[in-house]
A and B are shown apart, each in its own frame.
Chain A
């Protein structure tokens, strides 16, 4: 049917598509371009840098902003990896139970997980702020890992049970009939089948924890635990009169690239996982 399109329609679609790509990508490209501009170029309103400079990257890695950025990067990576690991392990048990076993209240548990996932963060942060200060978790890694788990666990349970439901579990028994031990059947048959789902869930969890801002800015106060999103809001220029656009762009590129690469590599699976979770419930 596409072949019947007139040339005019084709040109129309092509122009529309181009406009849309520009709309989606222009700001992204602009960030990259800004991060590569020399300080004197930053305000020239030109789309491309007149000369490429790594000055902004030097600023955040070795210059003035490095103290703020490097510690934040370390905190973010550490806190998010730990939170992702714990939530995926816990969610694996829960999803296994939900996918393989019949028991009353299964749907209720999944609905609860979903209800918890949409719980407004801002309503939880005030009591946590007070409690954390009283029990000494304020401005520490565990003080962020625990609330991050509340963000990542529900969605992990949700997506993992969608993945686990698709696994042909009979194959485990088939392998045992063929003489494999329990452990062998699990390791050689089930793990390879489950791994993609687990990995996808881990990426989604990491993404959610990585992007959090409310907890990051409310429950930390120093470099001890402040994550990247909160630190970005504290960036200032090298002088009072200079806006930190260059440093922010460079930092944004650095913190976005790993996520983009990971998600693009596993895009198909992530989209499948999310839509299966949401649509097939």
Chain B
């Protein structure tokens, strides 16, 4: 009897436990929901709307008769466009130019800042007095508000009359007895370089931090062993440190590309995309299409193209991150 009762109680307990895990499972997910739902609504829903708009002929100044999403009052479009907006993105000279500019801008800013970031990281990886202070100071450019930084590069450094660059040239020329240094119109003469230089200055600390984390994760005994075997500093760096850093380098290139693809502030403030369209990248072109030409459908199509580009880059980024993760676990 007691045995039977015990058995009954056991099953009951088991059933209770089971039921509670089912309830628990619900409870477990509950805390996740608000943040997740909100994040998805706020980013994915507008994107779906963007995709919807991208296949419409819709200029905000010439509203048509067709309601977009009837009942939600999202405005009225002219007609269905099919893929013609996308065709425009890839065939229109302005937009094609913007795509090229985006690639040039992103690639050069990322590569230069990774190279300088690597130099800084190697320097900071050594022990020297004041290392903490030096690292702190080197992060400073990353902390300046991007728009403020871009404005200051434009007004305080590049300005031909009172910018610091021409000031320094002037000073050097005067050291050698000349009356007046050359006056260089930095932004007009080399617009792309001007934008890239400001971006590189701001993004180098970001690259440096990732690469420094990589350097400090490098086991010291291998370096010691190489030293004992008589490897030179350069050899150690070339054949041990660099291969070890490969994944961190990839990560910094990919994350940097994802963020720099979206560069808007620097272009908007330093060159306004000019002269002509020399520095107009896709985000700035989208802004112009939307807020100057009011071509809603075209801007949306270009936006979708940017998203697809970002997803392609990001897929590689995620792969790099997960391979880093696997290595961490495997260790």
The number of A-B residue pairs with CB atoms under 8 Å apart is 274
Other-chain contact of A1, B50, B227, B321 (Cβ < 8 Å):
B227
Per-residue A-contact encoding for B137-158, CB less than 8 Å = 1, 0 else: 1111101111111011101110
Quick one: closest B residue to A113, CB to CB?
B39
> Is B234 close to A, CB under 8 A?
no
> Is B61 close to A, CB under 8 A?
no
Contact A150 B146 (CB under 8 A): no
* A-side interface mostly: helix
Size of interface on B: residues with Cβ below 8 Å to A: 100
> Is B277 close to A, CB under 8 A?
no
Per-residue A-contact encoding for B273-286, CB less than 8 Å = 1, 0 else: 00000000011001
Contact A116 B39 (CB under 8 A): yes
* B-side interface mostly: helix
Minimal beta-carbon separation of A68 from chain B (angstroms) = 14
> Is B307 close to A, CB under 8 A?
yes
Contact A213 B147 (CB under 8 A): yes
> Is A185 close to B, CB under 8 A?
no
> Is B86 close to A, CB under 8 A?
no
Contact B324 A232 (CB under 8 A): no
> Is A64 close to B, CB under 8 A?
no
Contact A20 B138 (CB under 8 A): yes
| Complex interface: chain A residues within 8 A of B292 (CB) | none
A146 to B42, CA, bound (A): 8
Contact B159 A121 (CB under 8 A): no
Contact B141 A24 (CB under 8 A): yes
Minimal beta-carbon separation of B57 from chain A (angstroms) = 15
A129 to B143, CA, bound (A): 28
Minimal beta-carbon separation of B289 from chain A (angstroms) = 9
| Complex interface: chain A residues within 8 A of B189 (CB) | none
> Is A78 close to B, CB under 8 A?
no
> Is B271 close to A, CB under 8 A?
no
Contact B140 A154 (CB under 8 A): no
Contact A275 B213 (CB under 8 A): yes
| Complex interface: chain A residues within 8 A of B283 (CB) | 120, 122, 214
The number of chain A residues touching the other chain, given as a range, is: 35 or more
Per-residue B-contact encoding for A145-159, CB less than 8 Å = 1, 0 else: 011011001100100
> Is B253 close to A, CB under 8 A?
no
A168 to B58, CA, bound (A): 56
Minimal beta-carbon separation of B233 from chain A (angstroms) = 9
Other-chain contact of B43, A90, A124, A264, A271 (Cβ < 8 Å):
A124
Which residues between 261 and 298 of chain B lie within 8 Å of chain A, taking CB atoms? 261-262, 264-265, 268-269, 282-283, 286-287, 290-291, 296
Other-chain contact of B290, A25, A129, A207, A211 (Cβ < 8 Å):
A129
Contact A280 B318 (CB under 8 A): no
Which residues between 96 and 126 of chain A lie within 8 Å of chain B, taking CB atoms? 96-98, 101, 103, 109, 111-116, 118-126
> Is B103 close to A, CB under 8 A?
no
Contact B38 A16 (CB under 8 A): no
| Complex interface: chain A residues within 8 A of B6 (CB) | none
Quick one: closest A residue to B170, CB to CB?
A45
> Is A130 close to B, CB under 8 A?
yes
Other-chain contact of B50, A46, A97, A126, A259 (Cβ < 8 Å):
A126
Other-chain contact of B46, A1, A44, A128, A256 (Cβ < 8 Å):
A128
> Is A178 close to B, CB under 8 A?
no
Minimal beta-carbon separation of B110 from chain A (angstroms) = 15
Which residues between 73 and 94 of chain A lie within 8 Å of chain B, taking CB atoms? 90-91, 93-94
Task: Name 16 interchain pairs, CB-CB below 8 A, sorted by A.
Answer: A13-B126, A27-B157, A31-B144, A45-B167, A94-B36, A103-B29, A122-B287, A127-B46, A218-B287, A218-B290, A228-B145, A232-B148, A252-B151, A255-B145, A259-B145, A263-B139
Seen from chain A, the residues whose Cβ lies within 8 Å of a Cβ on chain B are 1-2, 13, 16-17, 20-21, 23-28, 30-31, 34, 42-47, 90-91, 93-94, 96-98, 101, 103, 109, 111-116, 118-131, 134-135, 146-147, 149-150, 153-154, 157, 207, 210-211, 213-214, 217-218, 228-230, 232-233, 243-245, 248-249, 251-252, 255-256, 259-260, 263-264, 267, 271, 274-275, 278-281
